[in-house]
Chains A and B, each alone.
Chain A
């Protein structure tokens, strides 16, 4: 019988997110380097220590871990890690960068303290233990065993930690989840059968709570934040990017004087280079939305240089548009739909587009991985899927998905136009930077891997890419990527209502 100590934490996890908190920063740019200056570390460390001593009472211990021995330092670390993760997350959200200021650290800590006051310290401890337990056990399953030193320092699976995981070893050992083996002078940490069962249960619980999806979304937005050369790599891999975006805007029917909502505007490539703002003109208006602060900063930079004042860039997600009273003639975007929860996003767009208005998307579709150069280059990812006897997981859509969702959302006159975009794979570094570290293609395959395994795989993709680029001609390193344009109308009258 597996010693699985967690109650259903789904609701608690959602409350944690609602409080702006995350545990273990699955964010781009977080690696073995220090997350912040020692001064900020000291502040968070001291305050976390105080917080844990006040709250980690006998009653809270009983609630959180029943009759198990109470790890003393783990309570401080739970507070510290949550505040540290939240601080980095805040930096990503507010500036699109990684630098944590004192104010952000203070804000993060305040949020943790508020959460504890509202939901109890035991809840925070359980959430911390559940998430880090998954991270630990998942890494052990993947690697088979981890040298004790690397495990305690988190260097293979949680390289961002700046504290020792020694107490977590003791705790997991006391639960019977892990065992240690001595070989020569070294010691190795391994999963027990019980640990394997606990990992399964933990995975199920987190899956049900939507944790992995949330983690993937957060990672994706943070990747866009740090994706400084998107403009450049986008055009390198998609040479006709601008012309195809222009043709799409024409097809959608955007005209001067319209009020347009742009979804997933990124750094303003559709807004400016592909001419959306120009088409609409100063008599119209564009509200351009993107979840990535970093991308919006670059878009605003372009706007200042071009002196276009009828575009308003706003941070937000398609599922929760930062739009209150305004109504639009058209909601449009390129390459945004596959990043969204489509039914929620379409309902939101329907809310803000006037009756008779248009909702449209141009997005890439799932492709066959048949090109020999591609199979060779991306073999490490294709192999992950082949082991499960599945196709590789990615966020791209099947051709029937968007039309079905548009109809289910109650949109009318759904029209679809299929095309194909020529993609080229010019050089290893830019291709991997664009597709993997940038737009997060195959994120679904990479996110479940422990940190080091993921980094090693990305490095392997670069090395394979270099070899592939040396052996296949430029002409051979091309793919005709299927794309879909879709447009539909919001019904004239809300049906069945006066």
Chain B
């Protein structure tokens, strides 16, 4: 049981990163990510609620010696949002903090205020329509 938990990073309601499969599980469905998108995502997931700067994220994803620029990071932020957000154009989990960087918040399903994961998972509400790209 503890092994199973170690291989997952919880991201809120009905949503976790599966470290063994290198995929995101959301509403019971598998979302595939590219290796760099997944590496970035894991870093975010280990620092939920913390502001992460662009420079820090580039280091994490491509290494300190990489020649990658911010525009490349934006591509991967977009990929993560497409997989994670219910509406990627109005992100609620992976938020931009202007001039500061990014911050990841746990997912809260809109189920009438039930924050506790067990309660909300029981509500059976699914809002995945049109998210896949």
Q: How far is the CB of A48 from chain B (nearest CB, A)?
A: 11
Q: Is the CB of A33 within 8 A of B78?
A: no
Q: A42-B74, A42-B78 are in contact. Are A37 and B67 (CB under 8 A)?
A: no
Q: Is the CB of B71 within 8 A of A99?
A: no
- Which residue, B69, B77, B96, has most C-beta atoms of chain A within 10 A? B69
Is B42 part of the contact surface with A, judged by Cβ < 8 Å? no
Q: Is the CB of A166 within 8 A of B70?
A: no
List, in ascending order, chain B residues with CB within 8 A of A98's CB: 99
Task: Point out the residue from A33, A148, A163 that lies within 8 Å of B71, measured CB to CB.
Answer: A163
Q: A34-B54, A37-B96 are in contact. Are A149 and B77 (CB under 8 A)?
A: no
Instruction: List CB contacts (< 8 Å) of B61-75 with chain A.
Output: 65, 67-71, 74
Q: Is the CB of A37 within 8 A of B78?
A: no
Task: Point out the residue from B65, B67, B70, B78 that lies within 8 Å of A34, measured CB to CB.
Answer: B70
Q: Is the CB of B67 within 8 A of A162?
A: no
List, in ascending order, chain B residues with CB within 8 A of A152's CB: 67
Q: How far is the CB of A149 from chain B (nearest CB, A)?
A: 6
Task: Point out the residue from A38, A42, A161 that lies within 8 Å of B69, measured CB to CB.
Answer: A161
Q: Which partner residue on chain B sits nearest A32 by CB separation?
A: B55
Q: Is the CB of B71 within 8 A of A153?
A: no
Q: Is the CB of A162 within 8 A of B71?
A: yes
A98 to B99, CA, bound (A): 10
List, in ascending order, chain B residues with CB within 8 A of A99's CB: 98
Q: Is the CB of A162 within 8 A of B69?
A: yes
Please give the number of chain B residues whose Cβ is less than 8 angstroms from any Cβ of chain A in the complex: 14
Q: Which partner residue on chain B sits nearest A161 by CB separation?
A: B69
Q: A34-B99, A99-B98 are in contact. Are A41 and B74 (CB under 8 A)?
A: yes
Instruction: List CB contacts (< 8 Å) of B81-102 with chain A.
Output: 96, 98-99
List, in ascending order, chain B residues with CB within 8 A of A148's CB: 67
A37 to B91, CA, bound (A): 13
Q: Is the CB of A37 within 8 A of B71?
A: no
A164 to B67, CA, bound (A): 8
Task: Point out the residue from A37, A42, A45 that lies within 8 Å of B98, measured CB to CB.
Answer: A37
Task: Point out the residue from B55, B65, B67, B78 that lies within 8 Å of A38, measured CB to CB.
Answer: B78
Q: Is the CB of B71 within 8 A of A45?
A: yes
Q: How far is the CB of A91 from chain B (nearest CB, A)?
A: 12
List, in ascending order, chain B residues with CB within 8 A of A149's CB: 65, 67
Q: A33-B99, A37-B98, A38-B96 are in contact. Are A153 and B78 (CB under 8 A)?
A: no
List, in ascending order, chain A residues with CB within 8 A of B54's CB: 33-34
Q: Is the CB of A164 within 8 A of B69?
A: yes
A164 to B98, CA, bound (A): 22
Interface string of A157-168 (1 = CB under 8 A from B): 000011110100
Q: A33-B99, A34-B99 are in contact. Are A41 and B71 (CB under 8 A)?
A: yes
A34 to B54, CA, bound (A): 8
List, in ascending order, chain B residues with CB within 8 A of A36's CB: 98
- Which residue, B68, B74, B78, has most C-beta atoms of chain A within 10 A? B74
- Chain A positions within 8 Å of B, measured between CB atoms, are 32-34, 36-39, 41-42, 45, 98-99, 148-149, 152-153, 161-164, 166
Please name 14 further chain A to chain B contacts, defined as beta carbons within 8 Å, in addition to the given A38-B74, A164-B68, sorted by A numbering: A33-B99, A34-B54, A34-B70, A38-B78, A41-B70, A41-B74, A42-B78, A45-B71, A149-B65, A161-B69, A162-B71, A162-B74, A163-B69, A163-B70
